[in-house]
Amino acid sequence: MAKGKSFGGGMPRNSANMMKQVQKMQQDMLKMQEEMETQTYEATAGGGMVRAQVSGKKEVVLLEIDPEAVDPEDVEMLQDMVIAAVNEALRTSENAAAEGMNKLTGGMNFGF
Tell me, what's the pLDDT at 104?
76
- At 64-102, the pLDDT tens digits run 999 999 999 999 999 999 999 999 999 999 998 888 888
Q: With a threshold of 0.85, does the pTM exceed it?
A: no
Confidence class for position 108, pLDDT limits 50, 70, 90: low
Decide if 88 contacts 46 (C-beta within 8 A).
Answer: no
7-26 per-residue burial string, b: 16 or more CB within 10 A, e: under 16: eeeeeeeeeeeeeeeeeeee
Residue 34: count other Cβ atoms within 10 Å of its Cβ: 10
